[in-house]
Amino acid sequence: MGRRIGLQTVEIESKPRIIGTYNIVGPKEGQGPLKEYFDEIIKDDLNGTESFEKAETSLLYTAISESIKKAKLKEVDINYLLAGDLLNQLSSSCFAARDLDIPFIGLYGACSTMAESLSIGSMIMEGGLANYVVAATSSHFSSAERQFRLPLEMGSQRPPTSQWTVTGAGSMVLGKKGKFPYVTHITTGKVKDYGIIDVNNMGVAMAPAAVDTIKQHFMDTNRKPSDYDLIATGDLGIIGKEFTEKLLLEYKYDMRGHYIDCGEIIFDASRQGTNAGGSGCGCSAVVATGYLLKNMLKGKFKRILLVSTGALLSSTSTLQGETIPGIAHAVSIEFGGE
């Protein structure tokens, strides 16, 4: 059985395998540097539906159903579906689950949801309560813009610190057997709020939470950055990543040469006009199921740390002048060496 290590980390002794993955992205993401790592690229943001919200639901449904097929399973084999998104009442996840015959647990962690769902799914597997679990999440640029910022029709300008919400969905199927990447450690983050109120500066708002979780992971596991082939934060973007590196240096953790941010690498910011990079639940989901895990299967990475980051604001809290709390969850994934 698993055991607690330090203050916030658990060691997962059963090593749940990630036996099937699938990602699907929008046209803009498909024109970016990581296009070869995406399983499916849609032709337009509506994806044949009547609204951006319905389009997001279709992306999540596709990612989940196709990941189950890749794992050579059926819906009836899955014991739990853990999923969440950015929209009110988790509407994308709920409506996707409506068309899936799988017990569903909805999760809200904002853009940390990929690591959050993977964490909880691994814990359920460790407890012997499931044979197969699906962890999934999604986001959509247009649905997020009109919920959290302004309608697209207004044509509002975006400041340099703003990020581009990824249109995409990613899904992972956890199982017990097979030669696949597996989860070994989970560090659950604390909510951190350093007083940022600018909704166009999410990377800096989330950075303190990322720093706190990464630092605590190293302390709990007695590891250091060089023990990982790659450490990937979720969607801090160009500015937030730089801020995170500087803050971790104050704790004597030099991340250079071992650290990427999914939001920084998913777009070519200068060519694609995404300002500070990508964001959204789908950001770490499609990069993790694409670039990270596919390169693990190729042998490029043996041990990675996925640190999905989230800004826990709402449209109401922003209008009421609240600051932006951040959260980050870390999952250590390994492949080989057993």
Q: Is 329 exposed, middle or buried (0-12, 13-18, 19+ CB in 10 A)?
A: buried
Task: Write out pLDDT tens, residues 166-205.
Answer: 999 999 999 999 999 999 999 999 999 999 999 889 999 9
Does one domain contain both 223 and 163?
A: no
Ramachandran assignment for 34, one of left (phi > 0), alpha (psi -120 to 50 degrees), beta (any other): alpha
Does one domain contain both 284 and 207?
A: yes
pTM assigned to the model: 0.96
Q: What is the pLDDT of residue 148?
A: 74
Q: Determine the average pLDDT of the residues in 235-262.
A: 97
**By C-alpha distance, which of 311, 309, 332 is closest to 323?**
311
Q: How confident is the model at residue 151 (pLDDT cuts 50, 70, 90)?
A: low
Does one domain contain both 171 and 260?
A: no
Between strands 17-25 and 168-175, the pairing is: antiparallel
For the chain, give the percent of residues with pLDDT over 70.
Answer: 96
Distance, CA of 76 to CA of 55 (rounded, Å)? 25
Q: 175, 191, 211: which is the final residue of a domain?
A: 175
Task: Write out pLDDT tens, residues 199-212.
Answer: 889 999 999 999 99
Q: 143, 175, 207: which is the final residue of a domain?
A: 175
DSSP single-letter state for residue 69 = H
Q: How confident is the model at residue 152 (pLDDT cuts 50, 70, 90)?
A: low
pLDDT at residue 150 above 70? no
Does one domain contain both 160 and 186?
A: no
Q: What is the pLDDT of residue 229?
A: 98
Q: Which two tokens stand for residue 36?
A: 């070869």
Show the beta-strand stretches assigned E in 85-197: 104-106, 133-139, 164-165, 168-175, 182-187
Does one domain contain both 21 and 170?
A: yes
Q: What is the pLDDT of residue 154?
A: 60
Does one domain contain both 66 and 147?
A: yes
Please name the residue ranges forming H helices in the chain.
27-30, 52-70, 91-98, 113-126, 141-148, 202-221, 237-250, 262-265, 269-272, 281-287, 293-297, 315-319
Q: Determine the average pLDDT of the residues in 8-18.
A: 98
DSSP codes of every residue in 251-277: TT---TTTEEEHHHHSS-HHHHT-TT-
Does one domain contain both 10 and 158?
A: yes
pLDDT at residue 130 above 90? yes
Phi/psi for 170 (5° steps) reads -135, 145
Q: How confident is the model at residue 158 (pLDDT cuts 50, 70, 90)?
A: confident
pLDDT at residue 7 above 90? yes
Does one domain contain both 75 and 195?
A: no
Q: How confident is the model at residue 153 (pLDDT cuts 50, 70, 90)?
A: low
Angle at 52 between CA 273 and CA 291, to 5 degrees: 55
CATH number at 200 reads: 3.40.47.40
Q: Determine the average pLDDT of the residues in 313-325.
A: 92
Q: What is the pLDDT of residue 219?
A: 99
Task: Write out pLDDT tens, residues 76-112.
Answer: 999 999 999 999 999 999 999 999 999 999 999 999 9
**Which positions ≥6 away from 163 have C-beta within 8 Å?**
202, 203, 235, 237, 263, 274, 275, 276, 277, 278, 279
Does one domain contain both 236 and 261?
A: yes
**By C-alpha distance, which of 149, 145, 122, 112 is closest to 234?**
112
**Which positions ≥6 away from 153 have C-beta within 8 Å?**
none
Tell me what the pLDDT averaged over the chain comes to.
96
Does one domain contain both 45 and 193?
A: no
pLDDT at residue 75 above 80? yes
Task: Write out pLDDT tens, residues 272-304.
Answer: 999 999 999 999 999 999 999 999 999 999 999
DSSP single-letter state for residue 77 = G
Q: Determine the average pLDDT of the residues in 21-29.
A: 98
* The total number of structural domains that make up the chain: 2
Does one domain contain both 76 and 210?
A: no
Residue 266's domain comprises: 182-334
